[in-house]
Amino acid sequence: MRHPSYECWLQYEPVKNSGRANEYRSWCARLVVSEQGEVLNTAVDELRSGIRRMLGLRPAIAAELGPSKQIVIGTAASVLLTPDEREEASDLPEDGYFMRTVSDERGERLVIAGRAERGVLYGCFHLLRFLALGEETEELHIIETPKHRLRMINHWDNMDGSVERGYAGQSIFFDQNKFVADRGRIADYARLLASVGINGLTINNVNVHEVESKLIDDSFLNDVADVAGTFRLYGIQLYLSANYAAPITIGGLTTADPLDPSVGAWWKGAAANVYAHIPDFGGFVVKADSEHRPGPFTYGRDHAEGANMLAEALEPYGGVVIWHCFVYNCMQNWRDRKTDRARAAYDHFKPLDGKFKDNVILQIKNGPMDFQVREPVSPLFGSMDRTRHMMEFQLTQEYTGQQRHLCYLVPQWKEALDFDTYAKGEGTPVKSLIAGITAVSNIGNDDNWTGHLLAQANLYGFGRISWNSELSAEGIADEWARMTFGAEPKVAETVLDMLVRSWRIYENYTAPLGVGWMVNPGHHYGPNVDGYEYSLWGTYHYADCVGIGVDRTRETGTAYSQQYFEPNASMYDTLETCPDELLLFFHHVPYTHALRSGETVIQHIYNTHFDGAKQAEGLVAVWRQLEGLMDESRFAEVLERLQEQAEHAKEWRDIINSYFLRKSGISDKLGRMIY
């Protein structure tokens, strides 16, 4: 018997409402499918098992239409569809599907039709979601097409089994420098990802170390191909993170210079070998010249020269190079007030716009720093209209509580995707500019996949939002809560409420007003106000006894604000119009500066930290009310995390408040206890 959290949102609990169950049974008794195909078979199997579990019914599988109600499944090539339906399906974009009820001389049918097999699979998961949520199926008329073509997950898994920034156990792919022997869990994972529309992933860390460099040669390619085969059944394409210095480390060359013909030839050979093993291989993900990783800079070449050489090697096979823009000087001296890590990605890549080959996609983190609880959107979005680029989010909660704290991140991602860049005038949101979305995985081999059970909502939400960025964060949380915990209204409502408040709660008791980084250096957990202030890594808040914040304005600061289009550039640059929540990201101000909310900066710090710790305690109290309304084990595992969060939030509150009281000498207006 699996741990109940293992099933995540695919619980497939028996449908309780008997009216609905009868309605569903009338459709589900007969599944009609006339085609064969790997992904199509997965879809049929999933539908059968979901129907069996939710309706207690073993559907008959037929190849021809019958007179009574039935579910018809097919691609645009299926003879089961009418000519009109076939045409409609073939006009859909890649991965699209429609799902509708039809009644005519051919019988009563619920048709799930995709342009291709993957669309059919997504349509079947959609129907299963409907059943789980108790939705009406009598008059369906749904057409679904993904808003983003590439919907990816990046694993930061190392072959020794560890996961960089992983908070949910060990890797599900690797152990002791080998692939794991039991691949069952990988298939279960592929199923979860497919259920929310993910269609690509990398399995190894973007920091590619020695052993992992060999994933692209004969040392491991048979295993990689086997794993790619598992994902293929679920419509997911496999990519690998590649080491830019591989021609030296595994190829025996003396250089990795992208303009050296022997290097290009080496990569062409490597790509040919990869594709011989995995014909539908997605491509390479590359972090170069960043945080001490090798790259083209060593040879005096730029990123475009570096990426294009790899792109040429992959081009004959339709592969892509996904090139990281997380490039900055991580050794900045604190005396140097002009170098600004936030500026770096734009400064490096904007001048190269238009120089990348078509099969290069730049991967840009949502913010200019590194997945802090609050950052402005990276100004690179919108500034490169001749280069394909994609969004990178972080599911793994490196800076947002490491899956010991609750932090539902979908609202943060929504803000980033909706951000109006003004690149082509008003109404140019980030989501309209990107070729795809990816996120750093938050799963490991823990029983519940994500360490914190409620962190599963981030994985679910990421998939849903990368399929359709118009969905609301609340709507997604509601779906997730009901699919995970069942229809008991009190549970679903409480979980929804906890999720939607959690990001703000976490922000309240951690780094204030967009300044970020007040964590312990290295592992990034727990409060340490000056941890990065006095570290060589160079990420500063410049707090002294008078004020705090980073001056990124045009006149007196690093002029980072000018990397945005107007009116954003002026809005951030001007103290009066800069949003409070990002004030300290853009401005250095005295503690007595009045925010737009009316509070002073120092009083805001005190208030939010007292509030945040209290709110975290409140989460424990509301969760306790759910005792007895769900299985004991899931109740207990969440309770344990929430209790830890509440304790840790107090530590955050006290360390931050005490630091600023002593620095500023200004006491709390409300006279609360500050240590």
Helices (H), 354-453: 410-418
d(CA 633, CA 188): 21
Smallest gap from Cβ 595 to ligand GCU, in A, equals 30
Strand partners, 440: 154, 394
Q: Among residues 47, 57, 43, 48, which one has the least CA distance to residue 14?
A: 57
Residue closer to ligand GCU by CB (options 357, 524) is 524
Among 164, 347, 644, 654, binds ligand GCU (CB under 6 A): 164
Smallest gap from Cβ 204 to ligand GCU, in A, equals 12
Query: Would you name the residues annotated as active-site residues?
Result: 291, 370, 398
d(CA 174, CA 160): 6
**Which tokens hold the place of 421?**
């860049």
Smallest gap from Cβ 445 to ligand GCU, in A, equals 20
Query: In terms of DSSP bridges, do strands 107-114 and 97-104 run parallel, antiparallel, or are they unpaired?
Result: antiparallel
Among 11, 34, 41, 207, binds ligand GCU (CB under 6 A): 207
Judged by phi (left if over 0) then psi (alpha if -120 to 50, else beta), residue 199 lies in alpha
Residue closer to ligand GCU by CB (options 287, 587) is 287
Smallest gap from Cβ 528 to ligand GCU, in A, equals 15
Q: Among residues 201, 197, 100, which one has the least CA distance to residue 154?
A: 201
DSSP-assigned letter for residue 578:
S
Smallest gap from Cβ 72 to ligand GCU, in A, equals 45
117 binds ligand GCU (CB under 6 A): no
572 binds ligand GCU (CB under 6 A): no
167 binds ligand GCU (CB under 6 A): no
330 binds ligand GCU (CB under 6 A): no
Cβ proximity of 663 and 590 under 8 Å: no
Q: Among residues 381, 363, 508, 385, which one has the least CA distance to residue 436?
A: 363
Of 353-412, binders to ligand GCU (CB under 6 A) are: 370, 398
Smallest gap from Cβ 422 to ligand GCU, in A, equals 27
Residue closer to ligand GCU by CB (options 163, 190) is 163
> Is the peptide bond between 567 and the residue preceding it cis, with omega within 30 degrees of 0?
yes
109 binds ligand GCU (CB under 6 A): no
Residue closer to ligand GCU by CB (options 34, 207) is 207
Among 98, 239, 326, 467, binds ligand GCU (CB under 6 A): 326
Smallest gap from Cβ 483 to ligand GCU, in A, equals 31
Cβ proximity of 368 and 392 under 8 Å: no
Strands in 220-260 per DSSP E: 237-241
609 binds ligand GCU (CB under 6 A): no
287 binds ligand GCU (CB under 6 A): yes
For CA atoms 91, 93, 95, 99, the dihedral sign is negative
Among 30, 53, 165, 609, binds ligand GCU (CB under 6 A): 165
Residue closer to ligand GCU by CB (options 287, 501) is 287
First to last CA, the chain: 49
Residue closer to ligand GCU by CB (options 50, 166) is 166
- With CB under 6 A as the rule, give the number of residues binding ligand GCU: 8
Element of type H or E holding 200: strand 200-202
DSSP-assigned letter for residue 556:
T
Residue closer to ligand GCU by CB (options 396, 568) is 396
535 binds ligand GCU (CB under 6 A): no
Helices (H) and strands (E) in the chain, counts: 18, 18
Position 216, amino acid: I
Among 33, 206, 519, 638, binds ligand GCU (CB under 6 A): 206
The residue ranges that bind ligand GCU (CB under 6 A) are 164-165, 206-207, 287, 326, 370, 398
